[in-house]
Chain A
């Protein structure tokens, strides 16, 4: 059980999103700005080597195609760019050259992912649409077709089915959906699956509402593509077996999860506002939470001088430093005026988790689909962390026991 590798990419700004290249020697991130930064691995650290500047509003999502070594980025400026390494005509050095994608959307692009064969990508947007982009060799550009119906609000995430045709999307209209993104000139006719047989473009293969009306943050197909999981803002995670048909929802007593990834056909790692990755396991018979990858209790033991938020607090974050500050002010008339810090105030808000703020992205790092051995997470605290997925701390030890809700069959 290797301890998690944590890298602090920035002190002040969040990491909006991250993507590794195929051999994990390079990393593309956006630090809440309109630039994409490329880092290279140097020993045990990451060194900034290049900046990709073309967007003029904050970048929202990055994906790095492992086989064709192309990067696709989306941003609030309603654009997406495909970046390809080409030799500079003057110096001969390899540089990343952007190609604009004709998205035809009138709101921010929110999320982008390459398809498994890397001949298409999907761009989610606030324009109640998903742009499915494919390369047009005649025009020498990327063209898009829009999936529109029946999306009623911003699409927050997408995930491709391994067959390169089906696409799952999570949206702020409280629904997770499965669409066909079949493009005649690009795709071969897909074989029948649990999601359907005939799949022309924009076929709705499934539509699932979150259990208590929370917008859907993230969706993911299982490695086989036969199961769909999504995390929603009602602090729940839902696993759908369309063939069963069975839908399992786990309502949790902690803050919502915002990102998830499958590690095997029967396990999921998910993370979000509670700052630690959690592990879920199950199969067609039912799903449950089995533990976390972080171990706040032992972190607390090793850093005994730290105060503030404790993993063992009975009411979760209600006992945080901020809460205590207000309570002291209200009950005892003690106010912590900025500029007159007390001895412990410098680390009062430090958490016992590795991430110090919301985790916004969890992605496979090591292994193959169906047997992912390590995952990477990035978040609002500016950190990038690589976790060993076998190093699961049981929930009884994470201080979350009894706080995580029960599974329900719908």
Chain B
């Protein structure tokens, strides 16, 4: 999500400006390490998918998802991996898969759905697939899950 809607940096005139870094703890990993983690996960996700284990694959990709600034490579790769899982799931299986996820994983999934919707046509992102998942996820996790995806500054 592009949240930088202000084009003029008014904070430069404020000596005591509130910085993003004060509002959340940054991802402890450095960019190379995060990218490496995500690459390894992508490989295990492929083998999980080959076995048809969608819940396992989703849990893997949503656990320790890279967030925050400076990790764009890792974040993009993780989104790609996630989208490949979403696209290969039959729509009838979606509710069962979502119910099997932890609440934390559900929150992270919601963040990725919104990120995907903000990038139409990027990679294999398909709006209708994302909307299908969004509908099912909201039925299970409620509006609270959407609110958390919007408030959390640890952007995936």
Contacts and interface: CB of A to CB of B under 8 A. Distances in A.
Q: Do A and B bind each other?
A: yes
Interface of A: 152-153, 173-174, 212-215, 233-236, 251-256, 314-318, 403, 405-406, 408
B23 A315 contact: no
* B-side interface mostly: helix
A409 to B, nearest CB: 12
Q: How large is the interface on B (under 10, 10 to 19, 20 to 34, 35 or more residues)?
A: 20 to 34
Contacts of A235: 143-145, 147-148
Contacts of A408: 103-104
A11 B138 CA distance: 33
B103 A406 contact: yes
Contacts, number: 75
A59 to B, nearest CB: 27
B23 A173 contact: yes
Nearest to B144: A235
B46 interface: no
Contact of A318 (B103, B107, B138, B148): B138
A252 B147 CA distance: 10
A174 B147 contact: no
Contacts of B107: 212, 251
Given A251-B103, A256-B147, A405-B103, A213 B154 contact: yes
13 contacts: A152-B22, A214-B148, A234-B152, A235-B148, A236-B148, A252-B144, A253-B142, A255-B147, A256-B144, A256-B147, A315-B139, A405-B103, A405-B141
Contacts of A214: 147-148, 151-152
A316 B143 contact: yes
B143 A255 contact: yes
A408 B141 CA distance: 15
B153 interface: yes
B148 A212 contact: yes
Contacts of A318: 138, 143
Interface string B112-151: 0000000000000000000000000011011111011001
